[in-house]
Amino acid sequence: MQTGVPHTNLGILRDTPVRLPPLPEQRAIAHILGTLDDKIELNQRMNATLEEMARAVFKSWFVDFDPVRAKLALSEVEGAEGRDTGLPREIADLFPDGFEDSELGDVPEGWEVTGLHAVAVLKKESVKPMQAPAKLWEHYSIPAFDAGRAPAVETGANIKSSKYRVPTASILVSKLNPRFPRVWLPDVQDEEAAVCSTEFMSFVPLHYAWRPFLYELMKSDVVQRGIQERVTGSTGSRQRARPEDVAVMRIVVPSPELIETFGRIVGPLHEKTLNCICESRTLAALRDALLPKLISGELRVGDAARYLAV
């Protein structure tokens, strides 16, 4: 039947000879590539663990207020100085030992209920990569996030639409269909070449040391629910949150000293996560480059194995 659509005849395709290496060599190739895949999977599992650790600390300190509750419980016992918070004294001393009423319910004494703008600034500097067609850009796009949170490296000629510049300290939060949260901690290599999709909101902390706090804050359930409540548009995948509304969302802000202490504890976990993502990207590129060379015989299996020490 003629359809007018170009296609390949399946009979011809089935009869097309395919040159394969000998079976022992196929197994050796599979071992080499499988070793790379195993390392990538190990990095993914490690990242999941690191992210859960950071999330747990944030939730305990800034959502459930566990250290405050512990100090309050002990202070209510006559003659006691406060229940053990499980934290070093210098950190525990940064938490109050009581709560006060607020528009968001009970919050730790002395903590401020204010807009998100008290900890971060929304950045929307537009840039057109096509005006520098030969330049290589770090492109933080929705597909790149979904594929493994590593930016695509593309020439300006291949980036057709306007983008937002990505400052080094920024946290990217998708405004598109926020029922599926996308919060990105960019590892910017060149601020002059880093751009993101306009489907992202770029928030920059008021102080670089606040970046770990801001990242975990934007990932938290309470903020994600707030973003979902600020969507416009029809139902389904085309809903978008209004960045200006998100930027003034009411949040609970602890003392700057506590924010910075949190950053010193959790920041190294974020760094390890970024290192694993970078390594996995390198391993995936190496795997994809090795496969055709090994299959064609351009690269000998033994040479590849010695190079990779597998």
Q: Is the pLDDT at 28 greater than 90, yes or no?
A: no
Q: Are residues 223 and 164 in the same domain?
A: yes
In a domain, 41, yes or no: no
Which of 112, 104, 122, 119 shows the shortest CA–CA distance to 247? 122
Average model confidence (pLDDT) across the chain: 91
Name which residue leads in pLDDT, 88 or 13: 88
Q: How many structural domains are present in the chain?
A: 2
pLDDT for position 1: 47
Confidence label for 78 from pLDDT (cuts 50, 70 and 90): low
DSSP three-state, residue 139: strand
In the predicted structure, residue 221 carries a pLDDT above the cut 90: yes
Report the range of poorest mean pLDDT among 15-19, 141-145, 180-184, 215-219.
15-19
Task: Kindly tell me if the per-residue pLDDT of 80 is higher than 90.
Answer: no
Same domain, 233 and 123: yes
Which pLDDT value is given to residue 23? Answer: 85
pTM (two decimals): 0.88
The pLDDT of 270-284, averaged and rounded, is 95
Query: Does residue 161 lie in a domain region?
Result: yes
Q: Residue 95: pLDDT band by 50, 70, 90 thresholds?
A: very high
| 126 and 83 inside one domain | no
Taking 80 as the threshold, does the pLDDT of residue 81 lie above it?
no
Q: Which domain holds residue 127?
A: 115-252
CATH at 133 = 3.90.220.20
Identity at 67, one-letter amino acid code: P
- Asked if 188 and 168 count as a contact pair (C-beta separation under 8 A), the reply is yes
Residue at a domain's end among 90, 112, 134: 112
Other beta carbons within 10 Å of 148 = 13
Report the helix count and the strand count for the chain, using DSSP H and E: 10, 15
What pLDDT shows up at residue 234?
Answer: 67
Instruction: Establish if 58 belongs to a structural domain.
Output: no
Q: Is 174 part of a structural domain of the chain?
A: yes
Q: What is the 3-state secondary structure (H, E, C) of 230-267?
A: CEECCCCCCCEECHHHHCCCEEEECCHHHHHHHHHHHH
Do 246 and 195 sit in the same domain of this protein? yes
Residue range 269-288: mean pLDDT, rounded: 95
Percentage of the residues of the chain whose pLDDT score is greater than 70:
93
Neighbours of 121 (CB within 10 A): 14
Looking at the structure, do residues 95 and 128 belong to the same domain, yes or no? no
- The residues pairing with 153 across neighbouring beta strands, listed in sequence order, are 138
Are both 183 and 130 inside the same structural domain?
yes
Measured from the Cβ of residue 151, the count of other Cβ atoms closer than 10 Å reads 22
